[in-house]
Amino acid sequence: MFSSKDSFKDSFLKRLESMCGKGFEEATKRDQYHTLGNMVREYISSKWIETNELYRSENKKQVYYLSIEFLLGRLLGQNLLNLGIKEVVEEGLNELNISLKEIEECESDPALGNGGLGRLAACFLDSLATLNLPGHGYGIRYKHGLFDQKIVDGYQVELPEQWLRHGNVWEVRKPDEAVEISFWGRIETGVDDGTLSFRHVADQKVLAVPYDMPVVGYRVDTVNTLRLWNAEPASFGPNQDVLSYKRETEAITDFLYPDDTHDEGKILRLKQQYFLVSSSLQSIIKSYKKENSNIRDLHHYVAIHINDTHPAMAVPELMRILMDQEDLSWEDAWHITTNTVSYTNHTILAEALEKWPIYLFKPLLPRIYMIIEEINERFCAELWDRYPGEWERIEHMAIIAHGLVKMAHLAIVGSNSINGVAKIHSDILKNREMKSFYEVYPTKFNNKTNGITHRRWLLKANPELTSLINDTIGEDWIKQPEKLIDLKRHVYHPELKERFAQVKRKRKEILAKKIADKNGIQVDIDSIFDVQVKRLHAYKRQLLNVLHIMYLYNRLKEDANYSIQPRTFIFGAKASPTYYYAKKIIKLIHSLAEKVNNDPRVSQTIKVVFMENYRVSLAEDIFPAADVSEQISTASKEASGTGNMKFMMNGALTVGTLDGANIEIMEEIGEGNIFTFGLTAPEVLKYEENGRYRSMEYYHHDLRIRQVIDQLTNGFFSEDEGEFEAIADSLLVQNDQYFVLRDFASYIDIQEKVGTAYQDRGKWLEQALINVAHSGYFSSDRTIQNYADGIWNIESIGVKM
Ligand code: GPU
């Protein structure tokens, strides 16, 4: 089918007719996409079956990565690349006068995640398969992924996302492997051989039906599985309100919650979490029991990883299955559970730490709640032995306290490994946030610095830079990303620099065209493309970026001789629909864009662009075009960041705080190749402790600050004067929780240095190439190998067709 371009063309045309019932002439682009997608999936399926058979026959340990989000992005292009058939397909299509790129754009961009956490899970899947590691993803098949963002008069409007509207060629429904999930009801107590036994008698049963998607490794025969669960009615009883039962069950997988690092605390979310956990565990245990007779060996064959605390009920659910269904004692079940489960923490922000009120939890999941109570009692008894009389400490560490179930505590107590996602973040966990737990379990805590798959963020997103790298150092880096460092010997070669400059220019032209089409704004290719794309959140400080642009506007207006390197400020961000402040910032960016872009003089030097509906596919156009990467979170607040790595890999220079993985990027490339500024994490934490920060002082003493803050409310923008009052208040009345004003001066300084540095073109190009050369460390291949060796204890299994 893909062995040569002629056989491809032949199969494609035949398949187009048989699938769409149309001749070549009538077929639409979408028909062509569906045809090609189906051919590719069929091509994958023999490898997929082979992989599954091998995993069964080898019977080695496998890992299951449980995540409430998988932000996959489009799959056609990536699968073609990984399978090594992109060229054949592209050439064959060209001869039929079809553009592969246009076909690729027919695929919807599955947004089953919010931001970094979900995208990390997707990168991990790619690396697991490419490293031939037996690892699978388990998640939810949301009917509607993250909302589509429309901007109307500068305001964000949310529309339901509809990725399944035209079907999903990559999934296979597996109704035979469906399992039942129990909600509500009561516990039946019995006595078995003199010991108490418990059984949950449910009031509501929901069917979880798996949809499997293949995860294709790069140029290997391994095809792992992403299993996404769909909620459906289980069975209809005689006296049942059929309609409301159907509606209620299906609602469980209708929507992805649009919160990023923020806990919503709604009962439907709790249902989603248990639905994911229970269906995944039941299915994992079933497949384990097919090959293994002794449930007591589970942890030697199965590792279960929970991506943040959203799937933390894996701990009590595994206990339930082992005790209530497999008849193990508490002690045996606990030994197996804690040796099976491991946990990654992705944030220290208090508002993101999940805490469920007992009054919601207990009625919905009575047996799970009962088990958590028992875990808590045993844990507190241990603490009491260790810290006799220290009530406060124990209350503070308890899993259940003050009417709340603390999911992070449950995850820590119930797992064998707790990792942070960057060195500084793991250190903060150990020494501050989770200090008391670290004291009790010093060996459980560890760090696994995040990574991204260079196969999507370089190979797929930036074919131009990929060719240049291949021409310079060969192709080994694609499988061994650390080899990108070989570029370092060449970064001073004028020819490489020149070719890199051409690549960057080409990608800036492509993005500029998109901006012209979508925003109607003409941007200058020779200006610095200065980009901040990420979820909108106060701690990420898009506001600091905005205030800097306002300051530049003021300088340019006031001083006709003020001259700087021209810049295009590019933003992309979705705000949680209920996050009032974040939505105001989006409006502010638009009002600023209006002001700046319409000023005949100022707009010759700076422009502001907000790109609507930021998502994976748009990101693939943005990263390759960036000159400057904005990573300006308040130090200590961004656990890692992963956008920072994507920019670096595409040769952008970072303007960043000493936060998250920015620090490790600096350590890799050297202090001279990054622009750092602002408070350090210890300084921020100290301010938070001693309460000595007074944002008002900065307002009074720095005229630049006073001017821009006043402009938020004095009619400077053509909006209503109250429009941005909440933002001004956050900075002054509420004492600027994220130290925007404290870091303002330092940010202005570093941005001035960026502008000057850009003018030394030769040096800038060298620095950009040094960033690319050192980006290999930030490949998720390295991260995943660290998890495999240090946490999961799994080995690669070479699938060979
Ligand atoms: N992160 Br918790 C999310 O994207 N969503 C969440 O709900 C939580 C964390 C992010 C962190 O903010 C980011 O710093 C990190 O790089 C990413 O997870 C992956 O670890």
The answer to whether 181 and 279 are in contact (CB under 8 A) is yes
Distance 117 CA to ligand 1 centre (A): 4
Q: Which atom of ligand 1 lies nearest, measured to the CA of 262?
A: 7
CA dihedral 630, 632, 636, 641 (to 10 degrees): -20
Interface predicted TM-score (ipTM) over 0.90: yes
pLDDT at 798 (0 to 100): 84
Q: Are residues 510 and 400 in the same domain?
A: no
For 726, counting Cβ atoms within 10 Å of its Cβ (0-12 exposed, 13-18 middle, 19+ buried), the class is: middle
Q: Which atom of ligand 1 lies nearest, measured to the CA of 116?
A: 4
Side chain identity at residue 59, one-letter code: N
Q: Which atom of ligand 1 lies nearest, measured to the CA of 259?
A: 7
The answer to whether 792 and 63 are in contact (CB under 8 A) is yes
Q: Which atom of ligand 1 lies nearest, measured to the CA of 119?
A: 19
Ligand 1 pocket at CB < 6 A: 114-117, 120, 260-261, 308, 346-347, 352, 421, 450, 638-642, 660
In a domain? residue 691: no
Q: Cα–Cα distance between 40 and 673 in angstroms, integer?
A: 42
The answer to whether 139 and 127 are in contact (CB under 8 A) is no
In a domain? residue 727: no
**Quick count: other Cβ atoms within 10 Å of Cβ 123?**
27
Please compute Rg for the chain using Cα positions. 27
> If we measure between CA atoms, which residue out of 318, 178, 304 comes closest to residue 249?
178
In a domain? residue 548: yes
Q: Are residues 259 and 305 in the same domain?
A: yes
Distance 518 CA to ligand 1 centre (A): 29
- Ligand 1, atom 3: nearest CA belongs to which residue? 117
Report in angstroms the alpha-carbon separations of 148 from 71, 124, 614: 14, 25, 9
The dihedral sign for the CA sequence 122, 124, 127, 128: negative
Q: Cα–Cα distance between 628 and 743 in angstroms, integer?
A: 19
Q: Are residues 92 and 235 in the same domain?
A: no
- Ligand 1, atom 8: nearest CA belongs to which residue? 261
Q: Are residues 91 and 132 in the same domain?
A: no
Q: Could you tell me the residue range of the domain that residue 46 belongs to?
A: 1-58+75-107
Angle at 144 between CA 141 and CA 149, to 5 degrees: 140
Q: Cα–Cα distance between 619 and 280 in angstroms, integer?
A: 31
Q: Are residues 268 and 311 in the same domain?
A: yes
Pairing of strands 195-201, 186-192: antiparallel
Furthest-apart CA pair in the chain: how many Å? 91
How many distinct structural domains can be found in the chain? 3
Q: Which residue has the tokens 């620099």?
A: 497
Distance 528 CA to ligand 1 centre (A): 28
What's the order of all strands across the beta sheet hosting 404-406? 355-357, 404-406, 400-401
In a domain? residue 441: no
Query: Of the residues 347, 450, 457, 536, which should be mutated to test ligand 1's pocket, given the most ligand atoms within 8 Å of the CB?
Result: 347
Q: Which atom of ligand 1 lies nearest, measured to the CA of 352?
A: 2
The answer to whether 408 and 309 are in contact (CB under 8 A) is yes
Q: What pTM did the predictor assign?
A: 0.98
User: Low-confidence residues of the chain, pLDDT below 50?
Assistant: none
3-class SS at 525? coil
Q: Are residues 85 and 194 in the same domain?
A: no
Instruction: Check which CATH number belongs to the domain holding 113 and give it.
Output: 3.40.50.2000
In this structure, what token pair is assigned to residue 170? 């990559």
Q: Are residues 66 and 187 in the same domain?
A: yes
pLDDT at 133 (0 to 100): 98
Give the H/E segment covering residue 314.
helix 314-320
- Ligand 1, atom 6: nearest CA belongs to which residue? 261
User: Which of the residues are catalytic?
Assistant: 346, 534-535, 540, 642, 646
- Ligand 1, atom 19: nearest CA belongs to which residue? 117
Angle at 363 between CA 361 and CA 364, to 5 degrees: 65
In a domain? residue 734: no
Q: Are residues 248 and 286 in the same domain?
A: yes
Report in angstroms the alpha-carbon separations of 420 from 82, 307, 502, 631: 30, 11, 39, 19
pLDDT at 799 (0 to 100): 78
Distance 176 CA to ligand 1 centre (A): 35
| Secondary structure (H, E, C), 651-695 | CCEEEECCCCCHHHHHHHHCHHHCEECCCCHHHHHHHHHHCCCCH
The answer to whether 284 and 64 are in contact (CB under 8 A) is yes
Distance 261 CA to ligand 1 centre (A): 6
CB within 8 Å of 774: residues ≥ 6 apart: 484, 485, 488, 648, 665, 668, 669
Query: Of the residues 260, 273, 646, 664, which should be mutated to test ligand 1's pocket, given the most ligand atoms within 8 Å of the CB?
Result: 260
Distance 311 CA to ligand 1 centre (A): 15
3-class SS at 618? helix
Q: Which atom of ligand 1 lies nearest, measured to the CA of 118?
A: 4
Please identify, among 416, 444, 477, the residue that sits at the C-terminal boundary of a domain: 416
Q: Which atom of ligand 1 lies nearest, measured to the CA of 661?
A: 16
429-433 contacts: CB < 8 A, separation 24 or more?
429/345, 429/348, 432/348, 432/685, 433/348
Give the H/E segment covering residue 216.
strand 204-216
3-class SS at 718? coil
Distance 345 CA to ligand 1 centre (A): 9
Q: Cα–Cα distance between 236 and 188 in angstroms, integer?
A: 23
Please identify, among 386, 416, 446, the residue that sits at the C-terminal boundary of a domain: 416
- Ligand 1, atom 1: nearest CA belongs to which residue? 117
Distance 543 CA to ligand 1 centre (A): 20
Q: Are residues 15 and 45 in the same domain?
A: yes
Q: Are residues 80 and 126 in the same domain?
A: no
Helix 761-773 vs helix 740-759: crossing angle, to nearest 10: 110
Q: Are residues 608 and 650 in the same domain?
A: yes
For 5, counting Cβ atoms within 10 Å of its Cβ (0-12 exposed, 13-18 middle, 19+ buried), the class is: middle
For 173, counting Cβ atoms within 10 Å of its Cβ (0-12 exposed, 13-18 middle, 19+ buried), the class is: middle
In a domain? residue 720: no
Distance 633 CA to ligand 1 centre (A): 13
Q: Which residue has the tokens 């509501």?
A: 204
- Ligand 1, atom 7: nearest CA belongs to which residue? 261
Q: Which atom of ligand 1 lies nearest, measured to the CA of 642?
A: 16
In this structure, what token pair is assigned to residue 196? 């108490």
Please give the distance of CA 664 from its chain centroid, rounded to a whole number: 19
Q: Are residues 95 and 113 in the same domain?
A: no
pLDDT at 719 (0 to 100): 83
Please give the distance of CA 461 from its chain centroid, rounded to a whole number: 17
Distance 115 CA to ligand 1 centre (A): 7
Give tens-digit pLDDT for 243-300.
999 999 999 999 999 999 999 999 999 999 999 999 999 999 999 999 999 999 999 9
Distance 110 CA to ligand 1 centre (A): 19
Query: Of the residues 112, 114, 117, which should be mutated to test ligand 1's pocket, given the most ligand atoms within 8 Å of the CB?
Result: 117
In a domain? residue 553: yes
In a domain? residue 440: no
